[in-house]
């Protein structure tokens, strides 16, 4: 089990990405922008007691690490869920580096530290992802974010988590005492990098969530509850998927099935299935073919208008 988890969390180097000259500038930051912060900082998802927490240690407290862009923000935000087989978090190659890439395009990025197994099996990681979406929307004005342009990106197991967040969401509780809980948990777009969408589909699969969590048996109903392709409908957000055919840890069939479900539900979707490339490739590892996936993502985000400056609200 440890070898399997380590395989999914393998850290590889990635080439730095520089800002493109044609990234549009946007309106001036209001005085309260970033709540006084212009650099990376970390905040807890809950103030005080954390629901379902078994302690108060590092692994018990989910957080968001905020990466403001080095330019005027364009109103778009993305929450990034690193992978690691729900055992560890690859928060460099699938967290910080991804956040920096989005930052060069004027996007405010948030890297999610969600709770992991075996102490926190599903649905706890999903609850953390949903809370993260609510938190960003509740603080949208502070970060010059349009609350209707908050997406989620995930890689490997984090891609599975992002896909779940995009298919299992609610509109919030309008009368909740906690203002964060009044916000909807639905992402406005999804970016999935080699998502581990087969973790629940086949008990004989090389990567099986039940085994990783130390759960002896998961019945089919339990498995289906956490299979994103079974939850897709017309309200699933537009999705971009990147995968390689010969991924040694996560078969691409899960991505194909999810993409097919999106198309059948008439959800805007784009998938790029590269021939060669290892699992955990992050931004591309300097590979001539794999490096191009971020160019394709850049074009997709532009095409959806996610780099456009946010229109100031009437005072």
pLDDT at 204: 53
Q: Given this model, what pLDDT does residue 61 score?
A: 96
Is 70 exceeded by the pLDDT of residue 229?
Answer: yes
Tell which wins on pLDDT, 315 or 251: 251
CA distance 113 to 129: 9
Query: Does residue 137 fall inside a structural domain?
Result: yes
Q: Give 87-124 as a DSSP string.
A: TS--TIIIIIHHHHHHHTTT-EEEEEE---TTTS-TTH
Does the structure show a pLDDT above 60 at 66?
Answer: yes
Peptide bond into 291 cis (omega under 30): no
Does residue 6 surpass a pLDDT of 80? no
What's the CA gap between 65 and 79, in Å, rounded? 10
pLDDT band at 201 (very low <50, low <70, confident <90, very high): low
pLDDT computed for residue 38 by the predictor:
59
pLDDT of 13 above 80: no
Q: For tokens 């048996």, name the residue.
A: 217
| Any domain includes 308 | no
Is residue 146 domain-resident? yes
Domain assignment present for 310: no
Alpha helices in the chain (DSSP H): 2-8, 97-103, 124-138, 157-165, 209-213, 220-225, 253-264, 292-303
Tens digit of pLDDT for each residue in 285-301? 777 778 899 999 999 99
User: Between helices 124-138 and 157-165, what is the axis angle to 10°?
Assistant: 60
- How sure is the predictor about 310, in pLDDT bands with cuts at 50, 70 and 90? confident
pLDDT > 70? residue 214: no
Instruction: Return the pLDDT at 1.
Output: 35
Provide the number of structural domains found in the chain: 1
3-state secondary structure of 242: strand
Q: What is the CATH number of the domain that holds 84?
A: 3.40.50.1820
Q: What are the tokens at 76?
A: 């778009």
Q: Does 252 map to a domain?
A: yes
**Do the domain assignments include residue 312?**
no
**Residue 264, domain extent:** 2-303
The pLDDT-based confidence of 193 (bands split at 50, 70, 90) is very high
Comparison of pLDDT for 33 and 161, the residue scoring more: 161
User: 18-48, pLDDT tens digit by residue?
Assistant: 333 343 333 344 434 444 445 788 999 999 8
Q: Which region among 12-21, 61-70, 106-115 has the lowest average model confidence (pLDDT)?
A: 12-21
Asked whether residue 262 is assigned to any structural domain, the reply reads: yes
Q: Residue 315 falls within a domain, yes or no?
A: no
Q: What is the pLDDT of residue 156?
A: 94
Residue with tokens 């906690």: 178
Across 202-206, 208-212, 306-310, the highest mean pLDDT is recorded for 306-310
Q: What is the pTM of this model?
A: 0.85
Token representation of residue 5: 């988890």
Q: Which residues are registered as beta bridge partners of 44?
A: 63
Residue 111 has pLDDT above 50, yes or no: yes
Q: Once rounded to an integer, what is the mean pLDDT over residues 127-141?
A: 97
């Amino acid at each position: 089990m440890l070898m399997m988890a380590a395989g999914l969390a393998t850290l590889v180097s990635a080439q730095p990405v520089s800002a493109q000259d044609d990234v549009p500038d946007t309106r001036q930051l209001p005085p309260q922008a970033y709540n006084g912060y212009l650099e990376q900082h970390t905040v807890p998802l809950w103030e005080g007691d954390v629901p379902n927490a078994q302690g108060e240690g590092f692994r018990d407290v989910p957080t968001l690490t905020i990466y403001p862009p080095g330019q005027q923000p364009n109103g778009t935000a993305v929450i990034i869920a690193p992978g690691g087989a729900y055992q560890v978090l690859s928060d460099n190659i699938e967290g910080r580096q991804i956040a920096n890439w989005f930052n060069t395009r004027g996007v405010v990025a948030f890297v999610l530290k969600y709770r992991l197994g075996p102490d926190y099996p599903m649905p706890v990681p999903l609850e953390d992802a949903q809370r993260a979406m609510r938190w960003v929307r509740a603080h949208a004005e502070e970060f010059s974010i349009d609350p209707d342009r908050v997406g989620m990106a995930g890689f490997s197991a984090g891609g599975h988590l992002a896909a779940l967040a995009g298919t299992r969401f609610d509109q919030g509780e309008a009368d909740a005492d906690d203002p964060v809980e009044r916000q909807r948990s639905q992402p406005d777009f999804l970016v999935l990098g080699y998502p581990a969408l087969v973790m629940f589909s086949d008990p004989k699969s090389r990567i099986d969530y039940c085994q990783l969590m130390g759960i002896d048996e998961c019945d089919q109903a339990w498995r289906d509850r956490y299979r994103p392709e079974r939850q897709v409908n017309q309200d699933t957000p537009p999705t971009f998927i990147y995968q390689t055919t010969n991924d040694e840890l996560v078969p691409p069939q899960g991505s194909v099935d999810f993409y097919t479900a999106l198309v059948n539900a008439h959800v805007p979707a784009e998938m790029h299935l590269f021939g060669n490339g290892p699992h955990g490739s992050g931004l591309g590892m300097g590979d001539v073919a794999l490096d191009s996936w971020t160019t394709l993502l850049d074009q997709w985000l532009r095409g959806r208008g996610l780099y456009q400056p946010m229109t100031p609200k009437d005072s």
